[in-house]
Amino acid sequence: KKKARESCSLPESSWEERLANAVTPLWRLPYQEQLQVKYESQRKILQTLASRLEELGIDAQKPGGLCCPLQPVVPSPIINGYRNKSTFSVNRGPDGNPKTVGLYVGTGRERNIVCVKANHVENIPSKHKQVAQCYQEFICRSPLDSCILFHEGGHWRELVVRTTSCGHTMAIITFHPQELGQEALAAQKALLKEFFTCGPGAVCALTSLYFQESTMTRCSHEQSPYQLLHGAPHIFEKLLGLKFRISPDAFFQVNTAGAEVLYQAVGELCQATGDTVLLDICCGTGTIGLSLAHRVSKVIGVEVVEKAIEDAEWNAAFNGISNCEFHTGKAEAVLPQLLASWEDARPLVAVVNPSRAGLHYRVVRAIRNCRSIRRLLYISCKPEGEAMRNFLELCCPPDPRKKLAGEPFAPMLAIPFDMFPHTVHCELVLLFTR
């Protein structure tokens, strides 16, 4: 652990410093001070929740004006280079090069975006930086332009790099086809493969090289398939003694070592017994449910990304776990059907780990109206955002107009986990019971 930042001698107001300040705003602080900053921000969130609950007529004020006790921030086992996934953009750099591969300083709204190489950013591992540098070298050699604005043409777009502790590296390159025909596209894919297998990019030793033709900002595999140009279709990660298969677009916690600490704590907070059924909502590749499967009688996972569910089912089979079932689809479509006819007498514990958009109202309603769910763990990377709406929906009095018939939950304990050192973010686990 670094006790000071003296070693980081970035030039004042340099582009490198501006990028470090934008992406990792706490990079100058000793790590213990970073944890204290995060603790204070989480404390304010719990104070806000307490105030909002008071407005609903719920007496939620605890010592310090919080809605429930707040434990200290659990530190990350790894502080630098912890990210297992990085997304690099392609745009104009400080020197005007329109084929710069890096991260953004500035915003589209202000029209002052500059793409700066991320070689000095502390949370990105060296392997990701190496792949980004090689991709920049490749597109600088290419006669095709980078695609900065879709309507202005150009082709080369962002790069996603995923790595694992098993030594695997996956690169996913996004390409705007514009008016190119299949023959021209095939030629570009062949050049890309050659560069990363026989050319200068071979130094990256990629496990998987994917290519996606995309005419939108973001495309799912269903909208535009990930095309495997080289290597294995999946990379593999080990977590809590289990082996997990990861597809190009599958969700996996960005800090693997931190995820192990988080999932162990979730297991303890579930207070699961041998007859407990664990409902894993937004389960991704099944990491939470599978890591807790040995503690419970059954795991039911729900996830919208089809490829992630394929991974989850493979992961269960490979690890010899037979008490899990996984459902593909939007949680708001799957869960109400699943819980409406729930008559299982076994205790039901829910773990939800949604994206920043939070849970759909129909998901919250299904949870509220299922009497068997007495304990709920909500894992949020942005509790001050849409998750706050979910917290209020879980805790508000029954409301026939909103079809909220079940008794409300109450927040009992909050534990922040520092999954993102050097940034202002952390993962908050809120325990609700009723």
On whether 303 is known to bind a ligand per the annotation, the reply is yes
d(CA 311, CA 158): 24
CB-CB neighbours of 293 under 10 Å: 21
123 known ligand binder: no
- Is 386 a known ligand-binding residue? no
- What is the phi-psi region of residue 205: left when phi exceeds 0, alpha when psi lies from -120 to 50, beta otherwise? left
Q: How far is CA 252 from the centre of its chain?
A: 6
Other residues' Cβ atoms within 10 Å of the Cβ of residue 14: 13
Question: DSSP assignment, residue 280?
Answer: E
**Is 314:253 a contact under the CB 8 Å cutoff?**
no
Beta bridge partners of 228: 210
> How deeply is 179 buried, as exposed, middle or buried, from its count of CB atoms within 10 A (0-12, 13-18, 19+)?
exposed
| CB-count burial class (<10 Å; 0-12, 13-18, 19+) for 37 | middle
For 217, which DSSP code?
Answer: S
The conformational region for residue 10 under phi > 0 = left, psi -120 to 50 = alpha, else beta, is beta
Roughly how many angstroms between the first and final C-alpha of the chain, as a whole number? Answer: 40
Identified catalytic residue from 381, 395, 396, 426: 381
Instruction: Establish how many alpha carbons lie within 13 A of residue 12's alpha carbon, considering only the half-sphere containing its beta carbon.
Output: 0
Please indicate whether residue 395 is annotated as part of the active site.
Answer: no
How far are the Cα atoms of 273, 309, 312, 336, 339 from residue 324, in angstroms, in the given order? 16, 12, 9, 19, 17
Q: Are 102 and 20 in contact (CB under 8 A)?
A: no
* Cα distance between residue 127 and residue 317, in whole Å: 31
3-state class (DSSP) for residue 410: strand
Binding residues: 253, 303, 353
Binding residues for S-adenosyl-L-methionine: 253, 303, 353
Residues marked as catalytic: 381
